[in-house]
């Protein structure tokens, strides 16, 4: 009974608690139903053993002045849907951006459009730099 009175007295706290619980449930559900992989830099390097891997940079052209991964394909996020038909759905894709947010969105779009093997680089180009891995300029 005291717990219920506490929750009623602390509406902001109660609302925040329920919102966090809902976000946690949504996050768990999203991860279980995700059709693409999220890989760290070590996982990305392992993927690069595949000679036919397509490394897809979804950053804007101006962002590439900071550097880019060797032999990548740059299609800015806003252009991916329009150029999707020109990509081979049977290939293995590693998608990256600056921080991993845009690459997650594009990896999700690709996997929902029948691309079979899609991975997103967790932390994006920033994580790649932090791991002190090689880049091109």
Hey, what are 71's tokens? 């032999």
The answer to whether residue 97 is catalytic is: yes
Q: Which of 97, 107, 110, 127 is catalytic?
A: 97
Q: Which of the residues are catalytic?
A: 97
């Amino acid at each position: 009974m005291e717990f219920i009175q506490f929750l009623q007295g602390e509406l902001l706290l109660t609302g925040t608690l329920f919102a966090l619980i809902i976000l946690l449930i949504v996050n768990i559900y999203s991860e279980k139903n995700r059709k693409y992989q999220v890989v760290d830099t070590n996982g990305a390097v392992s993927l690069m053993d595949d000679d036919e891997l397509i490394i897809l940079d979804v950053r804007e052209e101006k962002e590439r002045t900071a550097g880019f991964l060797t032999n990548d394909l740059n299609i800015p996020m806003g252009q991916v849907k329009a150029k999707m038909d020109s990509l081979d759905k049977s290939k293995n894709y590693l998608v990256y951006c600056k921080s991993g947010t845009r690459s997650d969105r594009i990896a999700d779009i690709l996997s929902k459009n029948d691309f079979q093997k899609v991975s997103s680089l967790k932390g994006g180009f920033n994580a790649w730099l932090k791991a002190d891995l090689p880049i091109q300029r």
